[in-house]
Amino acid sequence: MKICSHQPSIRNGHNCCGKNFCAATYRDLPFPLMPDIWRPVNRGKSDGPSERKHGDGILVDFDSVEAIEEFFWKAVSDDAYIGKDALRFDTINASKIVAFNDYVAAVIRCHPDAEAPIYLAKNNNHVVRLAALLDQLTDAHFIVPFRRPVDHAVSLMNQHDRFSSLQREDGFVLEFMDWLGHHEFGLHAKWFDLGQPELTALIAQYPRFEINHWLAVWLNYYTYVDGFEEMQHVLPFSYERFCVEPGVSIKKLAQRIGFVTDLEPEPFRKTATEKPTGLDRELVARCEERYDRLSARAVN
C-alpha cells in the first residue's frame, strides 16, 4: 500500500514529476527518524546499484526509495499493534498525527528543489491504520496495488522461503526486518488481524509452507481493503495492467490524484509463474471473485 500526500496543498495541473516526490531512502539508515539531519551527513557513495535481497532483479543503491516509514509508527505506538502471530489495528490519536506530519516535513526538507512536494511512502502495514489515516489525512491518497491471487501467493511463498533461509544463515537479517516492522514473510511472518474472524481462522488453518496459507493471506488483506470502496482516496491499482501499459497506468493514476507526468516506461516482462499444486479450488474461486471486483474499480 502506498500513501501519496500533498505537503503542502498542491496546485492541480502542476507538473509534479520527478523532483517533487519526497520519500525515505536507504540513506536515512540507521537513523530513520531524522532524515533531514542524517541524510546530508551520510553522503558516502555506494559501489553502484546491486540486486536487492529479494532476488527479483531490482537494483538498489543508497538513494533508492525503501519502505522505512513503518519504523516511525513502531516508535510512536511502542509496538503495541504487533502481536505474536499478527498485526492488530493500530490506535491513531491526534498527537500521533502531529508527530507524523513532523516526520513527513523532515523528509520533505531533504528535497529543497521540490516546488510542490508530494510525500510518497510504501507501507503494507498501513492497512492496520487505514480508517484512521483516511479520517485524519484528508489530502492523502492510498494506492493499493493488487495482483492475480495465485501469482501473488506464489510470490509471497517464494519470498517467505527465501528470507527464512537468509534469516537462519544471518541473524542480522531477521533482527533488521523486525526492527523496521517488516513481517510480510520470513521466520517472524505475521498476518493482519483485520476483524475478519472467518478469514483469520482460514489463514491459521494452513501452515506457511502451503500455498493455501498465502492465498488466505491475500483474501484477508484485499477483502478488508475492498470494504473501503466508497472512499474516493483508496485507489486499487492493477499490477497486470501496469505491466502491459505502464505509461497509460501512470497517467490515469496521475490524473486521478492531480499531477501531470510525461513518463513513458517500456512494458514490463512479468516473471512466469508455475502453477502450484494442492490449491483449494473453493479458496481460489473466492480470491478470483475478489480480484474481479478490484479490477472493476481499478484506477488504471
Which residue from 177, 188, 2 is spatially nearest to 86, judged by alpha carbons?
A: 188
DSSP 156-198: HHHHHHHHHHHHHH-HHHHHHHHHHT--SSSTT--EE--S-HH
Question: SS3 of 30, please?
Answer: coil
- Over the stretch 28-74, which tens digit does the pLDDT of each residue have? 889 999 999 988 888 776 666 766 667 666 677 777 888 899 999 99
At 75 the pLDDT is 96
Decide if pLDDT at 251 tops 80: yes
Which residue from 245, 253, 261, 251 is spatially nearest to 298, judged by alpha carbons?
A: 253
The reported pTM is 0.88
Q: Give the chain's radius of gyration (CA, Å).
A: 19
Which residue from 1, 290, 280 is spatially nearest to 148, judged by alpha carbons?
A: 290
Calpha distance 107→247 (Å, rounded): 27
Question: SS3 of 6, please?
Answer: strand
Name the band, by pLDDT with cuts 50, 70 and 90, for residue 276.
confident
**All structural domains of the chain with their residue ranges:** 2-297
Architecture (CATH level 2) of domain 2-297: 3-Layer(aba) Sandwich (3.40)
Calpha distance 6→34 (Å, rounded): 20
Decide if pLDDT at 80 tops 70: yes
Contacts (Cβ under 8 Å, ≥6 apart) of 118 = 4, 5, 6, 7, 10, 16, 20, 21, 22, 259
Mean pLDDT across 168-176: 94
- Over the stretch 110-136, which tens digit does the pLDDT of each residue have? 988 888 888 998 899 999 999 999 999
Decide if pLDDT at 19 tops 80: no
Calpha distance 24→44 (Å, rounded): 17
At 59 the pLDDT is 72
Mean pLDDT across 4-30: 61
CB atoms within 10 A of CB 96: 18
